[in-house]
Amino acid sequence: MKRLTFASICLAALPVMAAAEGDAANGEKVFNKCKACHMVGDDAKNRVGPELNGIVGRAVGAVEGFAYSDTLKEMGASGAVWSEDVLAAFLEKPRDFAKGTKMAFPGLRKEEERADVIAYLATFSE
Structural domains present in the chain: 6-122 (1.10.760.10)
Q: Are 40 and 31 in contact (CB under 8 A)?
A: yes
Q: What is the pLDDT of residue 6?
A: 52
**Cα distance between residue 49 and residue 37, in whole Å:** 5
Residues in the chain: 126
**Cα distance between residue 122 and residue 64, in whole Å:** 19
Q: Divide the 126 residues of the chain into consecutive groups of 10 and give the mean pLDDT of each group.
A: 46 43 96 97 96 97 96 96 97 95 95 98 91
Q: What is the pLDDT of residue 1?
A: 36
Q: What is the pLDDT of residue 90?
A: 97
Q: What is the pLDDT of residue 21?
A: 83
- What string of H, E and C letters represents the secondary structure of 54-71? CCCCCECCCCCCCCCCHH
Q: What is the pTM of this model?
A: 0.82
